[in-house]
Structure 1
Amino acid sequence: MNSTGMAGSFNRTGPSASASVWFATSGFIAILGFLLLPYIGLGGDGQNFYYMGISAATTWAVIAGAQRVRRSRRLPWLVLAAGQFSYTLGDVAYYVAHAIFDSDAFPSVADLFYLLQYPLVGAALVLLVRRRTPSWDMATLLDAAILALGLGLLWWVYLIGPLATDYDASESLASILVSIAYPVMDLIVLATAIRLAVGAGSRSTAFRLLMASLLAMLAADMLYGLQTANDTYQDGGAPDVLWLTEYVLLGAAALHPSMRTLDQRAKVALPNVTGGRVLLLTFAALLPMVLLYARYITQENAGAPIVLLCGVSLFALVITRMWMVLGIQQRLAIVDDLTGLNARGVLLSHLDLEVERGHRYRQEVGFLLIDVDQFKLIEQIHGQPGGHEVLAELAQRLVRLSGNAAILGRMGANMFGAVLPGYSGGNLRGAAIRVREVIETEKFAVGDQEEVRVTVSIGLAGLHEDGVSSGDLLDHAEKALRRAKTAGRNRVYASTGPVEPRW
């Protein structure tokens, strides 16, 4: 009865969660507009003070958010707060120089604080990457390098290159170096942000807000660089609005409840070779050719060697990545990376072998399908890393429980299989009941030692009793598992019905 109640609650979670996300997103957009509209309407000192106030408030918000996690996990957020505070000091120095001393000197003290923000933000992102990544992840590093090199080429062609070559002879060396330093620092932050974006770890609301904040910062910096190069930048324009948007998004990321899981280490760096990622990598690899053609038709040959070198490098990286994908797919066909158990195909091969042996020597063979109940709800509450922890711990418990009696494998996202040679009838049913009871009895530690109750539904089938082939066993076990789920979860079912009474 309790399981049925949980099932009903879970069925209502989907629409409710979607509605909550919709209202939360709408509300955040409204708040963002509420904060930005006064800035656009103000002018002069009022606009400057409002801008500095939002910047300072963001620093406070990030520090306040950092206090909500354990002391050992505060460092990335405190470094982000230091970067934001440095930018606030830059705004104050910029205002004092222009409004009080009427100075347009460049570079100035403000530039020192502005530039200091970038290594601090980059350091915070590196800390988050290291904490979220379970091991050396060469595949993701290659993906990040391909995307960063492709997008970095745009920075070089349209920002860094022109600043390094097209400068006025009257400009001082310091002004030239500082002008180049801004897009170079942007490029470093961009590369680090891409590595964080494509790496392992939960995609929580706080993660998305942080990435949106970085995107707003980079877009503002690029627009500012282009406007400055064309001498069209004015205070209060689009770059300033984008920087304010960055501040609000960063503060929201730090204050959102899901920020507690943002630096949570993923259980395994699963290879992500989705269609979207392949499309992004293809786009990045084609950028040099597109830029070469664009410069050809505009008869601008400057920078062509750099573009060509970048294209060759991208081609080599993409080929390396494809070879790595091939190796990953071959490895995953044998062993499941997350649990260390046999992959589905390998387990089914073992089932074929044991069934054939059972016929030859007139032995029994049992087969169990074990499915984690309410797994989507677990991921909704604890994020993808939390779900990975549950699956990895469940696999370890199954190994300890079965010893050498069973051949284990992962059959699906949250489903495991067990081939039990010599098991049938009462022995097979007793083994299934024992698995269910052990999983239910001991809670699972997730995240900061938070304990979660996990249950499983089990469908079983035996050779001769339920069929004469491995396909028959798999089919009967799947049907029994579906019946166990329909009956309320946390149950063991055979083809003939429930194995144990449940109230």
Structure 2
Amino acid sequence: MYSTGMAGPVNRSAPSASASAWFAALGFLAIVGFLLLPYVGLGGDGQNFYYMGISAATTWAVIAGAQRVRRSRRLSWLLLAAGQFSYTVGDIAYYIAHAFFDSDAFPSVADLFYLLQYPLVGAALVLLVRRRTPAWDMATLLDAVILALGLGMLWWVYLIGPLVTGFDASESMASVLVSIAYPVMDLIVLATAIRLAVGAGSRSTAFRLLMASLLAMLAADMLYGLQTANDTYQDGGAPDVLWLCEYVLLGAAALHPSMRTLDRRAKVALPSVTAGRVLLLSLAALLPMVVLYARYVTEQHAGAPIVLLCGVSLFALVITRMWMVLGIQQRLAIVDDLTGLNARGVLLSHLDLEVERGQQHRHEVGIILLDVDQFKLIEQIHGQPGGHEVLADLAHRLVRLCGNAAILGRMGDNMFAAVLPGYGGADLNGAAVRIREVVEREKFAVGDQEDVRVTVSIGLASLHDDGAGSSELIEHAELALRQAKSAGRNRVFGTAGPVERRW
């Protein structure tokens, strides 16, 4: 049975979903008010105060969320709060310079605080990536490089390149450097955000809100850069609305309860080779050709060498990634990447071999199938990383219990198998009962909780009692496993019925 008390004591200080929802609702209402102020004669200063108020409220929300997680795991959220605070100070400095000193100087003190936000946010994202990634993950790193290189090329061609070539001699070196620093910093944050997005770890609500916040920030910065280059930017326009959306989404992410697991380390960097990811990588690889054609049609050849270099690099990276996918698939056909046990095909091959030996030499071969009870509920409560922790820990316990006596493998999402040459009858029953008892008795550590109770249901079959071949053994063991589940879970069944009486 999966205990309803498995979650342990409730953390009263944990952020609640209602706090996140209220902050998001009030924040977006404030954005609507920001847009309506000019129509009631309160534009200008009214919008500025609204803007700075939302920014300051976001800083408070992120700090409040950070205080509700373990001190050792606060740094990434505190860095995000520091970045938001830096931007708030920049807004205040910008307002003071214009309202009290009528100064349009560029660069100014405000730019110092605006630019400081980017390394703080970038450092927070790097820290999240390091904590979520279980090991050196070249596959997702390549994915991130491919996507970042494709989008970075667009950044260079349409933002950084025109800035580099568009300055005249009358502008100071400081204004040139600061103007270029904004899109360059954006590009660094973009690359780090992509690495976080494609890497391992749970896709919780807080994760999605954080990624949406970063997307809004980058979209606002890009739109601001384009409007500034064309002298069409106005206060209170689309970039300001997008920046306000960034603030509200960041605050909602910090106040959502799932933020406590956002930096939880995944048990394995599962290779995501879904159709969506392949499509994204393909589109990124095609971008240089699209941009080259667009520049050719408009007779704008500036930046063509950069675009060509990006195209060649992307082609080489995509080919490398496809070779890696092939290698990963070949490895997964032998070893399960999460548990380190034999993959299903390898285990069945071992079973065929042991059954053949058993038939020739007239010795027993037993098989144990065990399934984690209510595994979907475990994932609902603790997320996919929590489910991975349970499966990996269970695999380690099976190795410890069975030693060299069994050939272990993973048969499905939460199903394991043990082939035991020489085991049958009472020996097989005793081994299965011991596994069930140890799993039930020794609590599992999942995330922040050390006392999660997990149980397994077990089905047994032996060669000379239940079949003449490996396929028949598997069928009988699966039937016994279904009977154990139907009887109430946390039980051991053979084809003849329950192995141990439980009330």
Whether TM exceeds 0.5 here: the answer is yes
Q: Which residue of 1 aligns with 2:150?
A: 150
Correspondence list, 1:269-284, <5 A:
269-284=269-284
Higher deviation after alignment, 249-258 or 483-492: 483-492
Offset at residue 206 of structure 1 (A): 1.0
Correspondence list, 1:198-217, <5 A:
198-217=198-217
Distance 1:260 1:25 in 2: 13
Offset at residue 412 of structure 1 (A): 1.3
Offset at residue 270 of structure 1 (A): 1.6
Q: Which residue of 1 aligns with 2:239?
A: 239
Q: Over residues 386-434 of structure 1, what are the superposed CA-to-partner deviations in whole Å (9 max), with x where a residue is unaligned?
A: 1111111111111111112111011111111100111112221222121
Give the length in aligned residue pairs.
Answer: 487
Offset at residue 31 of structure 1 (A): 4.1
* Structure 1 SS opposite 2:419: strand
Matched, 1:40 2:25: no
Q: Which residue of 1 aligns with 2:361?
A: 361
Offset at residue 109 of structure 1 (A): 0.9
Higher deviation after alignment, 276-285 or 183-192: 276-285
Distance 1:184 1:195 in 2: 17
Distance 2:481 2:288 in 1: 53
Q: Over residues 271-317 of structure 1, what are the superposed CA-to-partner deviations in whole Å (9 max), with x where a residue is unaligned?
A: 11111111111111111111111111222111111100000001111
Correspondence list, 1:343-492, <5 A:
343-492=343-492
Q: Which residue of 2 aligns with 1:189?
A: 189
Distance 2:342 2:477 in 1: 18
Q: Over residues 99-133 of structure 1, what are the superposed CA-to-partner deviations in whole Å (9 max), with x where a residue is unaligned?
A: 22111111111111101100110011111111111
Higher deviation after alignment, 26-35 or 170-179: 26-35
Offset at residue 258 of structure 1 (A): 1.0
* Structure 1 SS opposite 2:404: coil
Distance 2:20 2:99 in 1: 38
| TM-score, normalised by the number of residues in structure 2 | 0.93
* Structure 2 SS opposite 1:493: strand
Q: Which residue of 2 aligns with 1:335?
A: 335
> Judging changes above 3 Å, is the alpha-carbon distance between structure 1 residues 54 and 108 closer, same or farther for their aligned structure 2 residues?
same
Q: Report the identity percentage.
A: 83
Distance 1:31 1:272 in 2: 37
Distance 1:24 1:197 in 2: 25
Distance 2:440 2:27 in 1: 45
Distance 2:289 2:26 in 1: 42
Counterpart residue type for residue 137 of structure 1: D
> Judging changes above 3 Å, is the alpha-carbon distance between structure 1 residues 349 and 27 closer, same or farther for their aligned structure 2 residues?
farther
Offset at residue 142 of structure 1 (A): 0.6
Distance 2:173 2:84 in 1: 28
> Judging changes above 3 Å, is the alpha-carbon distance between structure 1 residues 27 and 491 closer, same or farther for their aligned structure 2 residues?
farther
Distance 1:280 1:104 in 2: 42
CA contact (8 A) 2:27 2:54 kept: no
Distance 2:454 2:23 in 1: 34
* Structure 2 SS opposite 1:420: strand
Distance 1:62 1:30 in 2: 16
CA contact (8 A) 2:66 2:254 kept: yes
* Structure 2 SS opposite 1:465: helix
Matched, 1:324 2:324: yes
Q: Over residues 43-99 of structure 1, what are the superposed CA-to-partner deviations in whole Å (9 max), with x where a residue is unaligned?
A: 111110111011111111111111111111111111111111110011001111112
Correspondence list, 1:47-86, <5 A:
47-86=47-86
Higher deviation after alignment, 31-40 or 244-253: 31-40
Distance 1:92 1:30 in 2: 25
Distance 1:485 1:287 in 2: 52
Larger RCO, structure (CA 8 Å, separation 6 or more): 2
Distance 1:221 1:384 in 2: 34
Distance 1:32 1:502 in 2: 55
Q: Over residues 434-456 of structure 1, what are the superposed CA-to-partner deviations in whole Å (9 max), with x where a residue is unaligned?
A: 11111011110112243210011
Offset at residue 497 of structure 1 (A): 2.7
Q: Which residue of 2 aligns with 1:9?
A: none
Counterpart residue type for residue 87 of structure 2: Y
Once superposed, what is the RMSD of the aligned Cα atoms? Answer: 1.9
* Structure 2 SS opposite 1:404: helix
- Residue segments in structure 2 that go unaligned for 5+ positions in a row: 5-15, 38-42
- Residue segments in structure 1 that go unaligned for 5+ positions in a row: 7-19
Counterpart residue type for residue 337 of structure 2: D
Counterpart residue type for residue 253 of structure 1: A
Offset at residue 227 of structure 1 (A): 0.9
Distance 1:31 1:466 in 2: 65
Offset at residue 328 of structure 1 (A): 1.3
| TM-score, normalised by the number of residues in structure 1 | 0.93
* Structure 2 SS opposite 1:458: strand
